[in-house]
């Protein structure tokens, strides 16, 4: 028998929950206040949230 595989490490989802919330607030504030910088910041945070959401998947075979 070979060695047992290592247990997966626990993952912390702090940023994974904070960034989408901040993106939603930024987008809503940018739309309500008609402020382009807030709207752009919300879009950037939404892209970052999408990147973080897919970061846990390995692309190796």
pLDDT tens profile 23-45: 999 999 999 999 999 999 999 98
User: What distances in angstroms separate CA 61 from CA 25, 43, 51, 53, one per listed residue?
Assistant: 38, 32, 20, 20
pLDDT of residue 43: 92
Mean pLDDT computed over every residue of the chain: 80
pLDDT of residue 29: 92
pLDDT of 58 over the 60 cut: no
Rounded Cα–Cα distance for residues 47 and 14 (Å): 17
Which residue would you say has higher pLDDT here, 1 or 6? 6
């Amino acid at each position: 028998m070979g060695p047992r595989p290592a247990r997966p490490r626990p993952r912390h989802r702090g940023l994974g929950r904070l960034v989408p919330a901040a993106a939603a607030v930024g987008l809503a504030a940018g739309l309500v206040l008609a402020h382009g910088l807030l709207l752009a910041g919300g879009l950037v945070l939404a892209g970052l949230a999408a990147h973080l959401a897919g970061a846990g998947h390995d692309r190796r075979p």
